[in-house]
Amino acid sequence: MDQQRTHDRPRLLVAASTFPSRRGDGTPGFVLDLAEAVASEFRVLVVAPMVEGAARHEWIGDVEVRRYRYFPRRWQDLAEGAIVDNLRADRTRWLQVPFFFGALAGALLRARLQHRPQVAHLHWIIPQGLVGALVLGSVPRVITTLGGDLYALRHPVLQRLKSRVVAGARYVTCMSGDMASELARLGADPERVRVVPMGVDVDPLRRAGEREDRLADRVLFVGRLVEKKGAAVFLDAVRELPAADGVVVGSGPLRSALEAAAPSTVSFVGALGREDLATQYARAAIAVHPSVPAASGDRDGLPVALLEAMSSGCAIVASRVPGIVDVVEDGVSGILVPPGDAAALREAIRSLLEDESLRTRLGEAARRTAEAYSVEAISATYRDLLRETAAG
């Protein structure tokens, strides 16, 4: 880290509620990846909630990270994973919500006064976008929505708040065309909406691909163990495929129930760091992404895990849902099946297990498609947006 080298760059404030406690700890790292990528042009400060094992203040490369406490340490767990899912899993966590919003407001206000940012990049409409709109004053804002904040939280009051947030942003970025349409329904100016998925760090995937051999019977599921990811559908599909060696990577509130219902051919390995996850991708013949709409209305935008699996050259089987259909072409770069249809998912997996040439063809096409979604490619788009926003 060279603080002198970053001193004269435009100052960028980044805020997110999901951020790794340390590099490669298994927490989705797309916010950190993007912050590091744009740090070549901006002096970046990341504001994030405190999580177990994290430092209150640190530098990760050229990125300064400040974390805020929001509840007594013994019970502070609202931001350990996805906030909305944590609230659904344990209603007592609602007690932490007002304190979380207050602490976030204080952290952003301090960052505004001390860091004096020329532009703010706020991940999630609620809470970061909402609180930023209240306390950042005239600092121009880029808001990124990742799915759950847009599709869930459908109460009319929350919908009105989200409309105010996106209307006040200089730009709003989202993962898919369907999300852009949803933003338009909230009243966002289409001229200020950009479809820009999160980028994939391909280096660990390449290293793993060079050292590992694919296992012809390995079928991989990667995702947070919540309803919208469709892990239950995956388990139903492989239950009648004794030849499949299933692996589930991820953690979440449904893990215990899913493990109890899983067939003996499926193993659960929990959340993995980046290098270990890359190894799982490199060993898998097939990666499955059976996304489904949750009962709450929540659904995926464009899963980063899908882009990682494609980048690693896995043969893809995925649900035919908005976002996924933007990048997976049925029969060309993967196989698409109706969401929630375990029988169709089973037959697609079976066809790939029985046909090595088909797996190879689809995997190579997936890898080529995913080249457009590397961190390097995506960060160039974000640098342009942030540069334009900072310049007014």
Q: What is the pLDDT of residues 78-137, one digit of tens each?
A: 998 888 888 888 999 999 999 999 999 999 999 999 999 999 999 999 999 999 999 999
Q: What is the pLDDT of residues 351-384, one digit of tens each?
A: 999 999 999 999 999 999 999 999 999 999 999 9
Q: How far is CA 218 from CA 105, 251, 267, 317, in A?
A: 46, 20, 11, 13
Predicted structure pTM score: 0.90
pLDDT of residue 82: 81
Could you tell me what percent of the chain has a pLDDT over 90?
85
Helix (H, G, I), strand (E, B) or coil at 286: strand
pLDDT beyond 50 at 311:
yes
Compute the average pLDDT of residues 268-281.
95
Domains 3-199+374-390 and 203-372 share a fold: yes
pLDDT greater at residue 226 or residue 6: 226
Interatomic CA distance for residues 52 and 20, integer angstroms:
10
Q: What is the pLDDT of residues 135-176, one digit of tens each?
A: 999 999 999 998 888 887 778 999 999 999 999 999 999 999
CATH of domain 203-372: 3.40.50.2000
Look up residue 347 and give its two tokens.
Answer: 């037959």
pLDDT of residue 295: 84
Phi, psi (rounded to 5 degrees) for 86: -65, -40
Give the closest residue to 237 by CA, choosing from 289, 279, 283, 282: 289
pLDDT beyond 80 at 24:
no
Look up residue 125 and give its two tokens.
Answer: 């409409």
Interatomic CA distance for residues 333 and 364, integer angstroms:
8
When pLDDT is cut at 50, 70 and 90, the band that residue 4 belongs to is very low
When pLDDT is cut at 50, 70 and 90, the band that residue 265 belongs to is very high
pLDDT beyond 50 at 1:
no
Look over the chain and give the mean of its residue pLDDT values, rounded to a whole number.
93
The position carrying tokens 């007002």 is 98
Q: Where are the domains of the chain?
A: 3-199+374-390, 203-372
pLDDT beyond 60 at 2:
no
DSSP H stretches of helix in the chain = 3-6, 30-38, 83-89, 97-115, 130-135, 148-151, 156-167, 177-185, 203-211, 231-238, 255-261, 274-283, 304-312, 324-327, 342-353, 356-370, 375-390
The position carrying tokens 């999630």 is 124
> Which burial class, exposed, middle or buried, applies to 132 when counting CB atoms under 10 A from its CB (0-12, 13-18, 19+)?
buried
> Which burial class, exposed, middle or buried, applies to 264 when counting CB atoms under 10 A from its CB (0-12, 13-18, 19+)?
exposed
pLDDT beyond 90 at 299:
no
Radius of gyration of the CA atoms of the chain, in A:
21
- CATH ID of 3-199+374-390, from 3.40.1410.10, 3.40.50.850, 3.40.50.2000, 3.40.190.170: 3.40.50.2000
pLDDT of residue 5: 52
pLDDT of residue 16: 97
Q: Is the peptide bond before 127 cis (omega within 30 degrees of 0)?
A: yes
Single-letter code of the amino acid located at 77: D
